[in-house]
Structures are given as structure tokens and as C-alpha cells.
Amino acid sequence: MNENELNVETASDAEVLEGVRKHMSSIEPLVPPPPAGDWYEAAAGKPRRTVIRSRIGFAGLAPLVLVVAVVTVAVGVNLGRGGGSGSKSTYGVGIEYQLQPAAGQQVSDADMEATRTIIAKRLSAAGMDDSSINPALPDKFTVTVMGTTDIAAVTAVVGQAGKLEFVPLPPETYGIAGNVGAVTPLPAIGDPIDPSLPVLLDGSRLDPDGVAAQLGTTGSWEVAFLFDAQGAAVLASWSSAHVNEYFAIVLDGKVLSVPYLQSAIQDGAGVIAGASNESEARNLAGILKSGAVPVPFVVVSAQILGQVSTNPIAPSATIPPSIPASGRTLGNANAPHTIDVYEDFQCPLCKNFTTDVQPVLVANYVATGKAKIVFHDYVVIDQFTGGTESLDAANAAMCAADQGRFWPYHDWLFANQGSEGSGAFTKDRLKVIGAAAGIPDLTTFNSCVDGGTHDADIATEQSQLPSGVLGVPAVIIDGGPPLASYDYETISAVLNQIIGASPNPVATPGPTDTSSPSAMPQRSDVPTATATP
């Protein structure tokens, strides 16, 4: 009799039969009920289930691309098993995660084991059976999924804490049905929930057997949920006194939907409606069924195995979250002075500027509100390598900007820069870096990278370069001429002269190669302005 270990390659007949039974029991809820009133299940002897419908539904969830097996004859009992033929894929994805305990919290072996178990359940529910989870104590683990190169799909299944909360929205503030937003508008899908609002119930009170993705009566996918006896009692008591009031269903601190109570919920059951497709509903159901992980975690690195050998390196310094950013502008948009920076992501001197000069400018001028930094693409190096890595990296950074993540991705790109034309910024690796950098919606990001969505925008910017910008990096202050050098002393001297006062430097960068204001000015074939093909 197999002991169901991770390294077991075969299952006993009893295990296979048990697996089939479990799989079929999970499919049964997918069969639409007979049309008898408002989802009234009297024929089955079940109580009426109150349908909680969202105004917007799943719009706050990142679109997911998952392949879920509805029925399989040979049920995969163990993680680590290959396909039905017994052969294993030679390609896949590997993602390293790091636990992030709260201040003062220590990560225990029990926390790591609980995390591994929960992730294993999520992967199994998504049909990713050729998988392994390898802890690296004290606080890291690696998830490997073979047979796929879709990092976004794997991170969507694994990478959520899974903390579900039901948060009442006070009617004196948010209004009621028919009178929405008495004082404050309802929170938007995807927005963080107000942490001061008390939580009525959390996912710990869900009955895992009562959570399932299913087709709703309108033909769209939804997730049914059921609270245990204690949770149902709490919900019944509260809902009886708050009909027509709104509440937020919150996943990992962000609003998933904002329904209102059409009637009291007496049996602790309902649905979260509005999934755009079956995969999205199944993914949420799998996360809710497996429960919340004991300690949140983040992606450290991600790579495609067997095809792209990459392992992104985190930036040595990151921009403080207190610094405002909008698009490619870093700092207060109304700051009195502007530092325009022109760079190519393959340019080694641009990397020097980002790692040595930019942090001090941010500390002394941007954080203090004296100036803002505006980034501009100047694609130079592709002209000498015959490739498109500079253009592709610039496009990827603008794809990140679409999701409000330009500056983190900007720093990750320079941290993972290779030699010119070396393949460090292929589209596949740019997507891997995006996953490591925490891009929220990787499906949209990857499509944007693959399609070169912003190539025309970059070409337009190349055709509008200011006079005198002949290479990279180039720095312009308040629309003046390009500075003779990009070192901190030169930039701060000009800023101090304009501002009329010398700031108290937080730090002064060490020596760096700033013998020239640009990486390429000695090449006579670098035009002052060029449209990238």
C-alpha cells in the first residue's frame, strides 16, 4: 500500500478509486439545478440558498490562464507524478518564494509545513499534478511545475495568501441599496479595504466542502460558499438586522466584490458571482477551499526551466513606498523642478546612474518635494547590436507602467542587465522579471510584452528628443540643455543654484564612471533624434 509520499510514482487501486470518487464529487455541484423558482432546491430536499450578487463581481481578480482537468481516469494522487504514461516533462517553471512574517513573528517548521500543504492543494485543484514544493529553511521555498511555461498561471494559483474576509460597510457612511454612498462612495473592486472597518467573518469559518466553482442560473461562472455552523449563526444574526446594507468580500486585503443583502442569510450559504470564465472561478474556489497560508510570502525569483535559464536578481536598493509615483514620473507631480532622464535599459552607464546617483537624488530632492524625476526612453544600443532588446525592455517597462509598476520594474531591469545584445532582455526573460518584480496582472503584462504594445509610443518619443541629447544617460533640468555629466555633484550643483539653497545631503555616492554624459556619444552614427523601426 503506497504511503502517499511526494516521491511515490504509482498509486494503489484503492487510492485511484478514492481519487476518482473525490474528483466526481467535486464535479457534481457543477450540474445546474432544475429551474424551480429562485434557485429553490426543494426537489433535492435542500434549503433555499441566498444568492449574494456583486455589482461588478470578479473584476478585481487578475485574469487567469489555467488548464483544469474536469475528469481524468487516472487521478493524480501524489504531487511529483508525471503524465499518465509515466514520462515527465523536460520543461516547466520554477518560482522561489520567501515568507514575510509580521514584525516580531518567527517562522516555525509548522508554518512552513502548513504553507506547503496548502499550496499542494491549490496546485492539485488546478490540475498541476507534476509539481513539487521544496522548502529551504528557515523562510524560503521553491515551487516547480513541469509541463508549462506560463509563470503567470502558476503564480496566480500559488501566490495569494488566501485570506478571505466579510466586512460590513456602515450604512451611515456608505448608504444602502437605492441610496448608495451617503457620505463615502463604495470601495472599488481591487481597492484596499479600509483597515479600520471591523471584520464580521473570515475564511477560517468556511466549510471547504461547501466551496465550489459552478455555473450560475444566468449562465456565468460563480463560486458558491458555505460557512460552518458557527459562521452561519454569526451571519444569520447580523444579516437579519442589516437587510439592504452593503458589505465587502475581501481577499488578501483587496476588495473582491461589494454586494448588498437582498434578504437575511439563514443557512450560511451564498455565491460570489461575476467570474469572467471557468478558470477564474475554479482558481478562486481552490484558494478558498485550501484556506489561508499562516505567513504571507512574495516571489523572490522565477524562471522557465529547460528553455530560458534565468534567475532574476532583486535590486540592491528600492524606492521607498512613501515616494509618490505616477507613470514614469517619480515624486510629487507638482514639484517645482523637473529632472528629465534619458536612458537605455541595456546601457551600463545608465545602470550606474540608477544604482549610484538616483537614490541620492531621490533622498535629497524628490523625497523633500523639491524636484521630480521623469524617465524617457532613448533606444540607442539596438542600432549597434542588430537586436531589439533595448526596444523590448523599454516596451516592457511601459507595460509595467500601465499597472502602476514602472519604477519597481525599472529597478529590476537594471539589476538584471547583461552585456549588450547578450539575450538578457529577451521577451521571455522580460516576462520572468515582471513576475519577480510583482506585476499584479501578469496575463495582461505578458500579452503587452509579446505584442510590443508600446513600440509606437517609444518610436514617437525617439522622434521628439530635445536638441543636444546625443546618447545615454542624459540629464536635463527644468527644460535646459543636457548637463555635461550625469554625476551627482554636477546635478546637485545645478539644482542648488536653481533652488537657491543647498540641501542637507543624506549621502554622497561613491566614485563612478561619469567621464561622459552619455554611453554612446563617441559613436558618430548616433543621431540626435531617431524613430525606432
Question: Which pLDDT score is estimated for 310?
Answer: 54
Q: Same domain, yes or no, for 472 and 363?
A: yes
Q: Which of 28-42, 131-145, 375-389, 420-434 has the lowest mean pLDDT?
A: 28-42
Residue 258 gets the label, from left (phi > 0), alpha (psi -120 to 50) or beta, of beta
Q: Which of 73-77, 106-110, 188-192, 402-406 has the lowest mean pLDDT?
A: 73-77
Question: Which pLDDT score is estimated for 249?
Answer: 87
Is 277 part of a structural domain of the chain?
A: yes
Is 12 part of a structural domain of the chain?
A: no
Q: Same domain, yes or no, for 226 and 87?
A: yes
Q: Same domain, yes or no, for 292 and 330?
A: no
pLDDT tens digit sequence for 237-252: 999 999 989 988 888 8
Is 483 part of a structural domain of the chain?
A: yes
Question: Which pLDDT score is estimated for 497?
Answer: 93
pLDDT tens digit sequence for 33-89: 333 322 222 223 333 223 332 222 333 333 222 222 222 222 222 333 333 334 455
Q: Same domain, yes or no, for 208 and 345?
A: no
Identify the DSSP state of 246.
B
Is 525 part of a structural domain of the chain?
A: no
- Cell triple for residue 322? 512613501
Question: Which pLDDT score is estimated for 477?
Answer: 97
Question: Which pLDDT score is estimated for 18?
Answer: 53
Question: Which pLDDT score is estimated for 531?
Answer: 30
End-to-end CA distance of the chain: 64
**CATH number for 376:** 3.40.30.10
Number of separate domains in the chain: 2
Q: What is the mean pLDDT of residues 139-155?
A: 83
Sequence-separated (6 or more) residues with CB below 8 Å from residue 337: 365, 370, 371, 372, 477, 478, 495, 498, 499
Q: What percent of the chain has pLDDT over 70?
A: 74
Question: Which pLDDT score is estimated for 33?
Answer: 35
Whether the predicted pLDDT of 196 surpasses 70:
yes
Question: Which pLDDT score is estimated for 283?
Answer: 79
Question: Which pLDDT score is estimated for 494?
Answer: 94
Question: Which pLDDT score is estimated for 323?
Answer: 94
Q: What is the mean pLDDT of residues 85-95?
A: 63
Q: What is the mean pLDDT of residues 247-275?
A: 83
Q: What is the mean pLDDT of residues 425-445?
A: 92
Q: Is the backbone peptide bond immediately before 296 cis, with ω within 30 degrees of 0?
A: no
Is 122 part of a structural domain of the chain?
A: yes
Q: What is the mean pLDDT of residues 212-225?
A: 84
Residue 434: burial class (beta carbons within 10 Å; 0-12, 13-18, 19+): buried
CA distance 123 to 127: 6
Is 3 part of a structural domain of the chain?
A: no
Q: What is the mean pLDDT of residues 426-455?
A: 94
Beta strands in 121-233 (DSSP E): 131-136, 140-146, 164-168, 175-176, 179-180, 201-202, 212-215, 221-226
214 or 342: which carries more pLDDT confidence?
342
Question: Which pLDDT score is estimated for 61?
Answer: 32
Q: Same domain, yes or no, for 125 and 182?
A: yes
Question: Which pLDDT score is estimated for 146?
Answer: 86
Which range of 67-71, 110-114, 160-164 scores highest in mean pLDDT? It is 110-114
CA distance 55 to 185: 13
Q: What is the mean pLDDT of residues 268-295?
A: 80
Q: Same domain, yes or no, for 301 and 327?
A: no
CA distance 444 to 284: 18
Is 9 part of a structural domain of the chain?
A: no
333 or 518: which carries more pLDDT confidence?
333
As a residue count, the chain comes to: 533
| 389-402 helix and 455-462 helix, angle to the nearest 10 degrees | 110
Last residue of a domain, one of 273, 305, 337: 305
The pLDDT-based confidence of 199 (bands split at 50, 70, 90) is very high
The pLDDT-based confidence of 388 (bands split at 50, 70, 90) is very high
Question: Which residue segment(s) compose the domain that 61 sits in?
Answer: 18-305
The pLDDT-based confidence of 282 (bands split at 50, 70, 90) is confident
**Sign of the Cα pseudo-torsion (287, 292, 294, 299, in order):** positive
Residues β-bridged to residue 179: 176
Is 526 part of a structural domain of the chain?
A: no
Q: Same domain, yes or no, for 333 and 234?
A: no
Average pLDDT, the chain: 76
Q: What is the mean pLDDT of residues 511-519?
A: 40
Q: What is the mean pLDDT of residues 496-522?
A: 52
State phi, psi for 317 to the nearest 5 degrees: -140, 140
Question: Which pLDDT score is estimated for 274?
Answer: 66
303 or 251: which carries more pLDDT confidence?
251
**Could you write out the DSSP letters of every residue in 68-120?**
--S--SS---STT---TTS---S-EEEEEEEE-PPTT----HHHHHHHHHHHH
Sequence-separated (6 or more) residues with CB below 8 Å from residue 114: 293, 294
Last residue of a domain, one of 280, 305, 330: 305
Q: Same domain, yes or no, for 167 and 285?
A: yes
**Could you write out the DSSP letters of every residue in 391-449?**
HHHHHHHHHHHHTT-HHHHHHHHHHT--STTSSTT-HHHHHHHHHHTT-S-HHHHHHHH
8 A C-beta contact, residue 347 and residue 381: yes
**CATH number for 145:** 3.30.1360.200
Q: Same domain, yes or no, for 350 and 494?
A: yes
Whether the predicted pLDDT of 336 surpasses 80:
yes
